Structure formats: structure tokens, C-alpha cells
Amino acid sequence: MAVTVDNSLSGPNGTTPTAASLEATARTGTTGVVAPERSVYSASRTLHGLGTIDIATGHHRANSTPRLEVALPPAPWHMRWYVYPPSLQAAGFGVDEVRWVARLGSYGLVLHETSGGDVGLRLQADGLAQNPLVPTLSGVSVQFGQWLRVEATSDGTDTVVRVYPGHATIGARVATWSGTGLPGNVTAEVTAYRYRRGVLLQPGDKDVDLPGTPVQDRQRQILVWDPDELPVYRDDGDYGQETVTAVERFQNEFGLVPVDGEIGPETGAALDLVVAEIQGDPLPPSTHVSHLAVSDSAAIGPADTPLTSAATTLEASGDATVTPDFNVVTAVANVGAVDSAQVTKEVTLSASATAEVSDETRMSKDTTVLADTTVEVSGSAGVTQSAGVAVDYAAGHISAPFEPVEDDLHVANDITVSGAGGEYRLTVTDGPLGVGSVGRYKASDELNVDDEGQLPSQAGWRAHLGTHDDARYPVVHVNLAGSPELAGTIATRDCGDSLQVLNPPPWLPPRPIELLIQGYEERLNLYRWDVTFNASSGEPWIVGEVADGAAVGSAAAPDRADTTGSALASAVDETETALSVDTGSGPPWITSAEYPDDFPFDVVVDGAEVVRVASIVGDGSSAPQTLEVARGINGITKPHQAGADVRLAQPMTTAL
């Protein structure tokens, strides 16, 4: 599958989307943004822990409502994005309230909420007063008021739109427009324009002939906009020439097309918005959008989580499907060969951890983890790895340019390893760098292993490195003359050492950036002392080893890596620092009384907010455990409902 665009649409909280911020969050391709001033990156609705774009409706679709532009390939094309439309029924808007959420060729895809709270879909031509194209519906009902994943496809003859609840892969509402093929090679738009169906007042209409007072109501809105309008007849309920002239002036003022003097859905929606703005009334609720992708060959599916490990399903060459467990207990400094030379990585580990150094091919039976090893998952052992050196972007340690780049030089998703008379092949089918997403990238190695049983873990490790989707930083420029406090550590770093960037620039996700130094250049004279690093992602090297049944704490205890099924036992607001956590399956979290040296560590709540755990009280045998935490470590602080998922913020990867 060739994915031509894959963009998370995330950015610095509270800022307006720009071409640069969109480009910074694109794995593949970019998108353009038009009229961004009514949109903002917001953490009030997050997806995969990332802020999303909050789009407020404008006065019309043409150029006042923010929209994201993306190029569609020739048909057949496939487009996926996430949208969180407001709950319209709960707000009292009724079934005629509509959100125009995308332009696909010559039609707009519009969503409305049925009286039962379900998603309704239509294709609407530009004339909003025209009847929309009603699809043939199948599948199941999907509720409004949640993240919806929209999968749209057209082969040039028929168009099909599937709406899933969130990341689900089943349970979609399917809308099919047979004989309505939307073209390719055009610019599509993701937007959030609001209007109401069934609105049309024309010259000659009179309230005496209509239910209610629709003409008078609109005339009063015109007078709110400009009290000098309608000087003779005012709000008399008669749609005469004076009203026509006033409506034309309004349409010209706000760029509405056509200027025809009629109050249709778009002019009516603009009047509603203008009056609310003037009177200080609540504005129409906004819509959030996220994770936009386009493909020229196949449906795209759910958005991938930001990768911290290669925890993906790997297809073995035989009949078995192998799923390596990438969660671990003991942190290991496991650095592979850089430029064919073995290197040493200096790390600081928590008191209970053991530091080791190995190269990528050296094997030890005592630490080998085969692909079918089962690791019981439970409370975190609190493993903490500090970088060889940490620099703070916000403190000015790094000089421009500091920009990530994507390349495929080290992508490998079809791995064959051989040795000791055997051969093992492993294919990564899922994920952003799997065969299904980017095509087949083959790699093969002949290894000097002790026995062929070690080949699955060797292939799994190479697949982990070859499918880790993260950026390379060709330039990390540290000015030691301006930051002399770093000189003692920066000057001793070498290839293979880790480099951590704290408080990254606002156009990147707020978590620390883990890097591995691949090369450097130092310039020293009377006036300057600069070190420039070339670095790749260090995340795949944050690894650990799984002991062969050795206990942590007692002979019966399993190795601890992460939790299985941990969730909040009760809701919390954005200020509470004591979290009550239930572990539905697997052993409970470790306690600070038993393992004081393993604290603090970070966990993520509901996939969004990272909190730092200072202590844990209660062994979980008869009641939920209490986690004392510091909130908002990643800049996100929000309320959470009971049942919200709780897990390690950065699970480890199994070493060889």
C-alpha cells in the first residue's frame, strides 16, 4: 500500500496551525491549511495522547472556516481522518443541524446527528438548499459525541464512506453512493463548517403565510448586525426589496456566494454566527480533527500510536504467528554496532537494575529471549534510564537548525537470518513501516549463533530496529561557549552514546526526545566552541532483558514490566494527585514500601496525560492501590473518568 499522506495534525497546545507545524507532524507527505485563524491546537480532545485541531465554524465554507487541504491521487483513492463532532442533540440543535466535515471532489461530506443520537451521512452539492444525496446504509449504528474514524474511498464510479467508533476495526456505519464516483487528482478538504438544513427564505415570503415568524426573526438579526439597515419597514415580517437589499449587503460583507438576496442555509448560518458574536452569546460548538491519511491503493485503517517499541504482530515463515513480548523488567544498555564497530554506551540505572553492554550479534544463552517467550505483565519495576547527556531546548542549549528528517535507509520489514544449520524468516505486516504500509524492505544476515533456536529472537530484534518509526536529526548543534555547564559531559560523548533533548520545541510532541549519537563534529578556537551531532532515534535502544523465571521480590512473583488491565477505580478531576487504580488481571503494581529505589516512574492515563508516580500504597489484594502522582508531566492535565486506562508511559523492549 502506498500511503501518500500520513499526518497526526498535532502541534503546540494553544497555537494556530501553520504549514510548518503540520509538516513537523507528518510521517509521510504534508497538508496545507487555509484560514487557520479560527482553529487552534488543543489538548481538550486528544488522540493517542496528542493534541488535536479544534476548528470553529466560520461564516462560510469558501475561505472563513479553517480547512486542511490534501491532494487526492487518481481514483481509486482512499482517505482517512478522525473527527470529534459535538453532541448536537444534547445541545438542543435538532436533526437539521449539520456539519460539513470534508470536501471530496465536487461534493461535501456532511454529518448530522439523528434523533436517536446516531451518525447520519449525506453528500451535499455546493448549493446547500438543494436536496443532498442519500446513501444506501449498512453496518451498525454509531453514536455521535465521540471520536469517529472516517474511511472514505472512491473508484471513480461508486463512493463508500465507513464511520467507525474511534480505533475500532469492526462495527462501522457504511454509506454507499452507487453511481456517484468522486474524482481523483483533486484537492480534498477536511473542515468543520456548520449550517442548518431546511433554511430558505426568498423575496415575496411573508410571515402571514408561514408557520411562526421566520422572516421577522431574520430581519431582527439583520438589525443586530447593522441597526441602520431596514430603515423604512424594519422587522415587519414581509420579505420585500428592502430586506433583499440588506441581505445582499450582508452577503457581500462576509464573502458569501452567490450574492442573491436569499437567506439559504449558508446565509442563515452566517447570520446566526454574527449575531452570537455581537451579543456575546455562546458560539456554535467547535469540531476536532486529527490523524489525516491518504492512500492510492488500499483502505488505511486506524491510526498507529506514537511508537516507543516495535510491539507489533510478526508473521513467521511457517504456520505460526509470532508475537514477541517487548515488555521487560531489567534495563540493559544494549547498543549495536555503529559503522561496523562495537561501541560502549554509558547509562545510569536505578539501584535494582543491571547495566550490560553487548553488540548486536553477540549471544548469551542466559539472556536470550526466544520469540515465543511468555512474560507475565504486572506492576512496573520502576526502571529508569538516564541519557548519556541531556540538553534542554527551552534553556537554549541547542541552536538552530533543529529539524527531524524522515528517511528509509534503515527500514527492514522482511528479515531472514540463518546460522547453525537453520534459517528463520520474519515479516512485519502491520504498523507504519510494515509491508502493508510501505512495501517490502528485505534484509538478510548469516549469524554465528550457538544453535538455531536463537534465530527467532535475532530476527525479532532486527525487525524491531528496522520498523521503528522515528526521525533522524542530522543536526543537533550545541554551543558550549554559550552553555559552559555542559562542557564536561558533551566533550566526552562519542558515537553510540545516548543524547536526550528535554523540553523540545513547541511544534514537536512534548515528551523528551531520545537520540543515539551516530557522528559528531567539534569546532574549537578563541571565539567559539561548537559540537554538532548527527543522531538517529534512541528509543529502539531503550531495552531490557527478561530473566528465565527469576523472581522479583519472591520466588513466586513474575517479572514486572507493565500492567495488564489497570484502570482508574474512580474518576479524578484535573487537580487530584491521588489516583485509585485497580488491576483487573495480572499481579498488582509494586509498592514504594517494598521497592523504594524503583521510584519515581511515569505512567500515562487514558492515553493522554503523563503523570509521575512518587509512591504506591496498598498491595492490591483486597482494594485498589493508591498512586501518589505529580500531574501533567507532558503538559496535558485533564479530568479522567473511572475505567480510564493506566499504563507505563514508556514500556521497555526485550533485549536479546
pLDDT tens digits for range 404-453: 887 777 889 999 999 988 889 999 888 888 888 888 889 998 888 888 88
Residue with cell 531490557: 544
> Which one has a higher pLDDT value, 337 or 235?
235
Closest CA to 371 of 436, 427, 437: 427
HEC letters along 166-199:
CCCCCCCEEEEECCCCCCCCCEEEEEEEEEECCC
In whole angstroms, give the CA distance from residue 425 to residue 417.
6
In whole angstroms, give the CA distance from residue 69 to residue 620.
50
Per-residue CA distances from 580 to 179, 262, 551, 611 (Å): 55, 58, 26, 13
pLDDT tens digits for range 459-489: 888 988 889 888 888 889 888 877 887 887 8
Q: ∠ CA 207-124-131 to the nearest 5 degrees?
A: 45
Q: How much is the mean pLDDT over the chain?
A: 79
pLDDT recorded at residue 340: 24
pLDDT tens digits for range 532-550: 888 888 888 877 655 544 4
pLDDT class for 330, splitting at 50, 70, 90?
very low
DSSP three-state, residue 309: coil
Q: ∠ CA 608-305-515 to the nearest 5 degrees?
A: 95
Does the pLDDT value for residue 138 go beyond 90? yes
Which residues lie across from 482 on neighbouring strands? Answer: none
Using a 10 angstrom Cβ sphere, with 0-12 exposed, 13-18 middle and 19 or more buried, the burial of residue 586 is middle
Average pLDDT over residues 363-387: 29
Which residues lie across from 611 on neighbouring strands? Answer: 603
Look up residue 391 and give its DSSP letter: E
Q: ∠ CA 230-234-239 to the nearest 5 degrees?
A: 80
pLDDT class for 306, splitting at 50, 70, 90?
low
Does the pLDDT value for residue 364 go beyond 70? no
Per-residue CA distances from 285 to 81, 91, 224, 313 (Å): 20, 9, 21, 40
In whole angstroms, give the CA distance from residue 140 to residue 171.
6
In whole angstroms, give the CA distance from residue 139 to residue 171.
7
> Which one has a higher pLDDT value, 600 or 112?
112
Per-residue CA distances from 272 to 217, 265, 267, 488 (Å): 11, 10, 9, 63
In whole angstroms, give the CA distance from residue 1 to residue 295.
7
pLDDT class for 93, splitting at 50, 70, 90?
low
List all residues 6 or more positions away from 21 whose beta carbon is below 8 Å from its beta carbon.
11, 12, 15, 41, 507
pLDDT class for 92, splitting at 50, 70, 90?
low
Give the amino acid at 280.
G
Q: Are 560 and 601 in contact (CB under 8 A)?
A: no
Does the pLDDT value for residue 359 go beyond 70? no
In whole angstroms, give the CA distance from residue 212 to residue 465.
68
In whole angstroms, give the CA distance from residue 107 to residue 216.
33
pLDDT class for 491, splitting at 50, 70, 90?
confident
The per-residue DSSP string of 7-60 comes to E----STTS---HHHHHHTEEES--EEESGGGEEEEEEEEETTEEEEEE---S-
In whole angstroms, give the CA distance from residue 470 to residue 175.
36
DSSP three-state, residue 652: coil
Alpha-helical regions (H) of 420-492: 435-438, 455-466, 487-490
The radius of gyration of the chain's CA atoms, rounded to the nearest angstrom, is 29
List all residues 6 or more positions away from 5 whose beta carbon is below 8 Å from its beta carbon.
26, 28, 29, 30, 31, 70, 71, 292, 293, 294
Q: How do the residues of the chain divide into helix, strand and coil, expressed in percent and rounded to 5?
A: 15, 35, 50
Look up residue 129 and give its DSSP letter: T
pLDDT recorded at residue 96: 84
In whole angstroms, give the CA distance from residue 323 to residue 260.
63
pLDDT class for 319, splitting at 50, 70, 90?
very low
pLDDT tens digits for range 210-238: 999 999 999 999 999 999 999 999 999 99
Average pLDDT over residues 282-301: 92
Does the pLDDT value for residue 278 go beyond 90? yes
Closest CA to 52 of 642, 606, 648, 636: 636
Average pLDDT over residues 592-599: 82
Does the pLDDT value for residue 69 go beyond 80? yes
Average pLDDT over residues 295-319: 57
Q: How many CB atoms lie within 10 A of CB 280?
A: 7
pLDDT class for 311, splitting at 50, 70, 90?
very low
Q: Are 629 and 611 in contact (CB under 8 A)?
A: yes
In whole angstroms, give the CA distance from residue 346 to residue 241.
82
Kind of pairing between the strands at 473-479 and 513-524: unpaired
Percent of the chain topping pLDDT 90: 38
